Structure 1
Amino acid sequence: MLNWLIEPLSFEFMRGAIITAILLGILCAVVGNYLIVQRMGILGDVIAHAVLPGLAIAFFLGIDIFLGAFICGTLSTFVIAWIQSQSRIKVDVAMALVFSGFLALGIMLVTLLKSKLDLHEFLFGDILSVTTDDVKRTVIITAVVLVLIKLFYKELLFYTFDPLGAQASGLPVNLIHFALNGAITLTIVASMQTVGVVLVVSLLIGPGITAYLLVKELHQMMQLGAVIGVFSSITGMYISYYLNVPSGAAIVLVVSILFLLALFFSPTQGIFTRPEMTHRSARLFSQFKSQNPK
């Protein structure tokens, strides 16, 4: 058993991949909770696909593609906010439009600029190819985002649950809004190499929504979600190593299984274990016993 756990760690690429996966498991779980609470889970998917034009342009210009991805992802959130503020269009419709528009622009730019960007890696990730610089960048992004969330937790909590009240109390809600979107974009950019844009939303939402079924407070959701994210990342990496399957898909599959377990067996909200279901089962059993006496 010990050799089974230690063997993957003998390879440097696996050590870097596991460290990156652990950091992103924490970061995605914490940041994703704000999307869950605001019922904006689809925003993660929008930003994840909106970074493609930035990747194509950055690759063509020979600059850091992650910088291009961050700029373009952030721009997409500004466009959504602008459409919403300048019209009667609802935010979900604006997000759908931006999603398709930015994705189409990215595909066109990849073709027109004759970019050699690996779309397969962009879509599905390749955590085993992370370099030392990638690990350092992930450490910095994780540390910066988590420290800022810790410092401004009360303001973020107030804004998340009552944006109108936060605005009335004098909080800079626009700044908070775009700061949160910036944190989400950074998280997605950092996660692209791990699971790719197709699966990144699952890593953002899965651990948090699983924790939501088990605890009540936001800070508890963040803590438990981080634990779930770390466990899923490590387990997924080991599954990937021993079964020779894509790492990103393995990580997300573990996240999905844990969510289903919580959905079915959560002590308070589980389909099979919530109080009303337990009482109903007991009542049905009692009726059965009365109708079928020994």
Structure 2
Amino acid sequence: MSITDFLTDLFNPDLAFLPKALAIAVMSSVVCGVVGCYVVLRGMAFIGDAVAHAVFPGLAVAFVLQGSLVLGGAVAGVATALMIAVFAQNRRLKEDSLIGVFLVATFALGIVIISQAPGYAGSLQQFLFGSITGIPDRDLYLVGGTGLLTLGLMLALHKELVAVSLDREMSRAIGLPVFWLDIVLYVLVTLAVVISLQTIGNILVLALLIIPAATARLLTDRLGAMMLLAPITGGASAVLGLYLSWSYDTPVGGTIVLVATAAFLTSWLFAPRHGLLTKRWRRPRGAAFGEHIPASDPSYDALCAD
């Protein structure tokens, strides 16, 4: 399918779900790209996976009650994030252990709840892998409002979140409320996950959080540039992924993730400073003969400078 045909379909009244799917995919990818920068800097990809599973009971309850999936998922995800933050204060167990407990428990609860609804097998597949059909207008507005709220909170607390992400102990020493900032970050991750579920699904939503941010991390040592490149990468992946999915009749969520992964692999190979092949091309001649070439990674200092 040509780009012209795709644009024609976007404005076709009989395919009203397509522009809504594109709008939600782009909005969620942009929000996930920005939130994902904090997730990547902090090395907490596991919490993104946990939250993606934690929202499932809320989705199930909303489906059974015929309510808003976005609102139901947000309530469940925020509640679980708060419980993880509270339980993590007991240093007897590490945070990753608690996340693992809540991950499996909440996902199992969601399966039990949704199994009580007739025809749950088809609904379960929709939740897990996403669907671009049947997106109501209220969810479009809810996703837009939630995305703006999330970006606003990140802008207001940007310096504090960066400080906690880079050095928790130093942040605690200078008087930052690390516990409450943890909760805010968990909630932001939850909101980013929830608004992405309908197009990309519960299984693949972690990719939107991690892959664009990881791609941007390879391309720049500056946090400001990283937080600009990540949403651009995510949004472009959503647009191209939806176009390819519509053209070749492939699953939307999987196609978007594959496009984002292709961008990551390209950056991993050809990034100006950190690309694997770029490093080999720029390696001094003496390195080929086994000389020791000292190297340092200025990325941490550059991030702190932002």
Structure 2-normalised TM-score?
A: 0.85
Deviation at 1:214, TM superposition (A): 0.6
Among residues 140, 144, 168, which one is paired with 1:139 in the alignment?
144
Deviation at 1:282, TM superposition (A): 8.2
- Amino acid paired to 1:85: Q
Partner of 1:9: 10
Contact 2:29 2:196 in 1 (8 A): no
1:116–1:181: structure 2 CA closer, same or farther, 3 Å change rule?
farther
1:225–1:84: structure 2 CA closer, same or farther, 3 Å change rule?
same
1:269 and 2:270 correspond: no
Among residues 228, 239, 251, which one is paired with 1:234 in the alignment?
239
Partner of 1:122: 127
1:278 and 2:283 correspond: yes
Partner of 2:166: 161
Deviation at 1:39, TM superposition (A): 0.5
CA radius of gyration, larger in: 1
Deviation at 1:169, TM superposition (A): 2.3
Contact 2:114 2:124 in 1 (8 A): no
Contact 2:212 2:231 in 1 (8 A): yes
**Matches of residues 213-232 of structure 1 in structure 2 within 5 Å?**
213-232=218-237
Deviation at 1:277, TM superposition (A): 6.6
| The 10-residue stretch of structure 1 (174-183 or 128-137) with the greater mean CA deviation from structure 2 | 128-137
Structure 1-normalised TM-score?
A: 0.88
Identity %: 33
**Matches of residues 39-50 of structure 1 in structure 2 within 5 Å?**
39-50=43-54
1:60 and 2:64 correspond: yes
Post-superposition Cα deviations, 1:77-97, rounded to whole Å, max 9, x if no partner, equal 233233332252211222112
CA distance in structure 1 between the partners assigned to 2:103 and 2:118 by the alignment: 21
Any stretches of 5+ residues in structure 1 without a counterpart?
Answer: 285-294
Any stretches of 5+ residues in structure 2 without a counterpart?
Answer: 290-306
**Matches of residues 94-113 of structure 1 in structure 2 within 5 Å?**
94-111=98-115, 113=116
| The 10-residue stretch of structure 1 (246-255 or 114-123) with the greater mean CA deviation from structure 2 | 114-123
Across the aligned residues of Structure 1 and Structure 2, the Cα RMSD in angstroms comes to 2.2
1:197 and 2:202 correspond: yes
1:151 and 2:156 correspond: yes
